[in-house]
Amino acid sequence: MKIRCKMLVNGIERGMGSKQVIDPTTGKSHYVPAEQRTIKLHPVYGNGDPNHENTKFWGATPSGQFQFTMISLETAEMFELNKEYYVDITPAE
């Protein structure tokens, strides 16, 4: 089974959370404040062309959301508002 979703970034939010760090001298972990980003996506809209990929996907999935929060700001910077991305869903073995 594999499902491919075509999603549009409709929100990028900044926030504060925490991340785990390992103390190099003791080997013990603790948490420290960390800036984070929440990326919010929703299905693409149809564009009126019945043969266009977005219209086909929107016809099957007109509503929904995918959201995740990350502390890797470098990775979060790869996402752009109003840009489309594929989200692939496959079972974890």
Q: What predicted TM-score, i.e. pTM, was given to this entire model?
A: 0.83
How much is the pLDDT for 71? 94
Strand partners, 18: 33
Q: Where are the domains of the chain?
A: 3-89
Point out the residues of the chain with pLDDT beneath 70. Answer: none
3 state DSSP class of 73: helix
Distances in Å between the Cα of 40 and the Cα atoms of 9, 22, 23, 76 are 6, 30, 33, 11
Neighbour tally for 29: CB within 10 Å: 9
